Structure 1
Amino acid sequence: MKKTNVSVNDERLQVSSEVLRAIAHPLRMQILEFIDRNSEINVNKIYGTLGLEQSITSQHLRILRTAGLVDTERDGKYIHYSLNYDKIGGTIEAIRRFLEQDRV
């Protein structure tokens, strides 16, 4: 096994772990895919269409919001969710680089 020096930035590590935890749950992935198919959608449509409880849907959306994977926009009493494609793309690229590094 090859030894490498690793410097860990605690703040970046915390952010990274939140993002990975957010995408590691199958239901959150389902919610992300549903938002992607609809571009922008409110929470009522998400839990109604996916057959989820409102409270569970809100908990999962909070985790996705905290991780920066979804953006929100208020329209009266409704909150519309959309994907933060920059954050998701950066996450996918970081994972890809990590996996490629492991092959070398």
Structure 2
Amino acid sequence: MNSLQIRLDQKKLERAAYVLKSVAHPIRISIIDLLEQRERLTVSELQQVLHIEQSLLSHHLTNMRDKGVLDTKREGKNVFYFLTDATITNILDCINGCKTF
């Protein structure tokens, strides 16, 4: 009989669970999708596409930033949001390719 084993490092599993929990919301996945299309966006640019209240959007952005998924850069009056690790967009391929969704 073949022996089964966990093929991923425990720290990697813990980090993956942490990141997945932090993006497990339709708005947050949409933010990742938008930031894949354009490397950085302002709150107003995101709000224009998502059609949600600015306070709700700010809540999601703050949560994602606190969890290390997003970061910001100020340029003049504008604050731009961007992904800290662009490979997180691979989750979009998984969602699109999964027949369960």
- Tell whether the structures are fold-level matches, with TM greater than 0.5: yes
How do 1:1-104 and structure 2 match up within 5 A? 13=14, 17-85=17-85, 88=88
Aligned Cα root-mean-square deviation (Å): 3.0
Runs of 4+ in 1 over 4 A off after TM superposition: none
| Aligned positions, number | 89
In structure 2, runs of 5+ residues without a counterpart are 92-101
In structure 1, runs of 5+ residues without a counterpart are 93-104
How high is the TM-score relative to the length of structure 1?
A: 0.65
Q: Deviations over 1:63-90 (max 9, x none)?
A: 111111112101122210111126738x
Identity percentage of aligned residues: 31
**Greater fraction helix:** 1
Q: CA deviation at 1:20?
A: 2.1
How high is the TM-score relative to the length of structure 2?
A: 0.66
Q: Deviations over 1:11-68 (max 9, x none)?
A: x95x655422212111100111111111111011001121111001000001111111
State the alpha-carbon separation in 2 of the partners of residues 49 and 37 from structure 1.
Answer: 12
